[in-house]
Structure 1
């Protein structure tokens, strides 16, 4: 009588559907897709997608973020922020990678930093290592 309802689309995560409204602080470990409206804070360890009909009046922190709808708030990601041709972001972004398709809008400041930084050796330590290499071997 009951059928095995398998995931048809392959989507694994949280969905705020078109016509829905939610507010508060949203924390999720998996992916998040917003097609409705959300007001509040978003902290997501997975991918965040603001669909074409989606509106987020939020500060968003996520791994990779795709905006095809509207975001009013700041975005922070150690991954990639993609603003599609229908996407609009009103706020500051601090991301490792930024992609804005033709027609996409970003009204705010952008700051791009890599998640992992490699320390640069000091000038003195470089000179010392060259001096050591220049000494002849005793034989």
Structure 2
């Protein structure tokens, strides 16, 4: 009688892609963060964030530095430039002091934003490259 062994598949590589990095309340980090996965900040970060995943700034979370990510949900505080390739969601408790460059923007009533905001492909690309946005021919005269 032959027994067949079931092939076990490893979920390890799948779990790496779905990892969430959490900075809990009461934690202060000074320095830059670069991550391929998602990040949640309920503590405080003094430095820059570069994430290829989703970033969540909790209601008590604070970031003092530049943020560059695919998607972000802000319920806390950010002071610095925010570059989001897809969607920036500002919850009612959100406070952002700095320039925003985003593909799409969702703002709940009660949120606070001070700075400039650019949305869309052409404008976003030109600002990231430190170029001036395209000006209509009528405005150039």
Secondary structure of 1:64's counterpart equals strand
Note if 1:17 corresponds to 2:52: no
Note if 1:44 corresponds to 2:51: yes
Distance in 1 separating the partners of 2:62 and 2:32: 15
Cα RMSD, aligned residues only: 1.7
Distance in 2 separating the partners of 1:58 and 1:15: 18
Shift of 1:48: 0.6
Structure number with larger C-alpha Rg: 1
1:96 is aligned, of 74, 95, 103, to: 103
Distance in 2 separating the partners of 1:91 and 1:102: 19
1:32 is aligned, of 21, 35, 39, to: 39
Runs of 4+ in structure 1 deviating by more than 3 angstroms, as ranges, are none
Shift of 1:13: 1.1
Shift of 1:77: 1.0
- Structure 1: runs of 5+ lacking an equivalent: 1-10, 118-139
Between Structure 1 and Structure 2, the one with more helix by share is 2
Aligned length: 107
Q: How does 1:121-132 map to 2 (within 5 A)?
A: none
Does the 8 A contact of 1:78 with 1:114 survive in 2?
Answer: no
